[in-house]
């Protein structure tokens, strides 16, 4: 398996590549256990970008593009598809699976900005970034309607009027234009025949997989450090294939 993969070229980042997570010292610096998902995603992507990019680049990247990057990392980690389980209203358990290639193709077709028609007027709405997410999370709102309006005002060109109907159209347009943010899939129940829509948490799936890769790296460091008394940096300076060989030798001794 290749350790790096090209990321779909962006006007501001041609030649950007992503390497596999869970192989280097800087991968252990990423906190994947907390509640701040936007920051965790940013830290993962900064650590895995070849050549390096600063955090500001990823904070300003549309959320859907960030999910694309995560899907590339999942593929580098060996994932070919993402599966999710749901439950029908009748109680039947349902499962659906999408391939990484299908998801990446859907994300690459997303337009930015999104054109929103309101009667005879047309407004342009940009796709939200992680920096937008952080700003909304830090804000205080009287109710959900106020929060939704604040989102619209931040994303749209000045001059648009945001009543409930306009907000609904904007949200629908963004969902359609950026399918990886709210990855909705339809599943048909074999028992009752009802077709229902469900959301797949793509970012959550990838982050959980990367957390397992990070745990495996920590276990490798622990095993080699406890036996050979090498430092963390010395162990992770070794090529991955040599670390794996040392681990295999130690495991053979314990059989």
The tens digit of pLDDT for each residue in 30-84 reads 999 888 899 999 999 999 998 888 899 999 998 998 999 999 999 999 999 988 8
Asked if the model's pLDDT at residue 248 lies above 90, the reply is yes
Spatial CA neighbour of 93 closest among 101, 105, 84, 85: 85
Mean pLDDT of 130-145: 88
pLDDT band at 175 (very low <50, low <70, confident <90, very high): confident
Q: Identify the residue with better confidence: 12 or 143.
A: 143
Q: Are 48 and 21 in contact (CB under 8 A)?
A: yes
pLDDT at 104 over 90: no
| Virtual torsion, Cα 134, 138, 140, 144, nearest 10 deg | 30
| Separation of alpha carbons 123 and 162, rounded Å | 11
């Amino acid at each position: 398996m290749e350790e790096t993969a090209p990321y779909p070229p962006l006007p501001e980042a041609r030649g950007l590549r992503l390497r596999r997570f869970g192989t280097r010292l800087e991968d252990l610096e990423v906190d994947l256990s907390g509640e701040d998902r936007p920051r965790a995603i940013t830290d993962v992507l900064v650590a895995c970008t070849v050549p390096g990019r600063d955090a500001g680049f990823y904070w300003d990247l549309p959320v859907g593009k960030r999910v694309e990057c995560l899907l590339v990392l999942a593929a580098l980690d060996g994932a070919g598809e993402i599966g999710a389980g749901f439950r029908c209203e009748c109680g039947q358990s349902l499962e659906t699976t999408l391939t990484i290639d299908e998801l990446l193709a859907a994300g690459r077709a997303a337009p930015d900005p999104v054109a929103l028609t309101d009667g005879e007027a047309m407004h342009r709405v940009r796709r939200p970034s992680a920096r937008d997410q952080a700003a909304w999370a830090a804000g205080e709102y009287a109710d959900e309607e106020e929060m939704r309006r604040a989102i619209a005002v931040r994303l749209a060109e000045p001059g648009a009027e945001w009543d409930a109907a306009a907000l609904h159209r904007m949200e629908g347009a963004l969902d359609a234009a950026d399918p990886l943010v709210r990855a909705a899939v339809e599943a048909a129940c074999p028992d009752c025949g009802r077709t229902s829509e469900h959301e797949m948490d793509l970012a959550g799936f990838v982050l959980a997989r990367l957390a397992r890769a990070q745990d495996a790296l920590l276990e490798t460091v622990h095993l080699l450090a406890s036996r050979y008394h090498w430092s963390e940096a010395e162990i992770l300076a070794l090529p991955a294939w040599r670390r794996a060989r040392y681990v295999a030798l130690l495991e053979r001794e314990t059989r």
